[in-house]
Amino acid sequence: MLYEIATLTIRFGTAGKVNEGISRYVAAPGAKGTLYGCWHTDIGALNKVIILRGFENFDDLMSERERAFGTTDPFGYGEGISDLTFDTYRPFPFLPPIQPGKYGSTYEIRTYRLKHGGVPPTISAWEKTMPGRSEFSPLSIAMYAIDGAPRFTHIWPYQGLDNRASLRRETVEKGVWPPKGGPDWLTGDMQSMIGLPTSFSPLA
């Protein structure tokens, strides 16, 4: 399984039409992949739409990438999109596939830059820690990039910002989080966005 995050920078005031375009685009006849999440950023870099899709193989992923590159109307409403980037990921191998469902009104999307060689020890640390961490709140996905700089992205649902702050504080106080040894492989280059799911997002 491969995952893709498409990040759209949209023009102010176009959110409704962009949403309509995305929902049509990902469900069009011949479209490849499975939509798992679509969020508009509310904290962090604004006017961003984060689209998470999964692909069974590299050919399907590249077919969709070429479809986006070959049109002036990517994601169904090109005139509302001022910038578009793609990132390709593999999931941490011990995790189950993404399970669509209603998990929370607020999603946090975090990306951490890794030191050289940091992918295997990071996966190992998370595999040891996640059973305990999952008792507090679910993880939508953790995945490492296979293009660009060494980094990984993890996505967490919460019932709101207060719920997020409370759970993060509790897991730290109880020694459940962060994964032991995991921070040793981080460069300190970290980014976080809060996204609100669209009405058609399978992760909601």
- Which domain does 115 fall in, by range? 91-197
Query: How confident is the model at residue 50, as a pLDDT?
Result: 98
pLDDT at 102: 97
Mean pLDDT of the chain: 97
Q: What is the mean pLDDT of the segment spanning 154-160?
A: 98
Q: What was the pLDDT predicted at 176? A: 95
| One domain, residues 25 and 101 | no
Beta-bridged to residue 8, according to DSSP, are 49, 84
Q: Same structural domain for residues 104 and 186?
A: yes
The tokens describing 3, both together, are: 């995952």
* 204 belongs to a structural domain: no
pLDDT 10s digits, 130-154 = 999 999 999 999 999 999 999 999 9
C-alpha separations of 191 from 45, 68, 151 in Å: 10, 26, 11
What pLDDT is attached to residue 91? 98
- Grade residue 186 by pLDDT with cuts at 50, 70 and 90: very high
Residue 29's CATH number: 3.30.70.100
Percentage of residues in the chain having pLDDT higher than 70: 100
Per-residue model confidence (pLDDT) at position 133: 97
Q: Which pLDDT value is given to residue 57?
A: 98
- Distance, in Å, from the CA atom of 162 to the CA atom of 140, rounded to the nearest integer, reads 19
117 and 53, same structural domain? no
Average pLDDT of span 73-95: 98
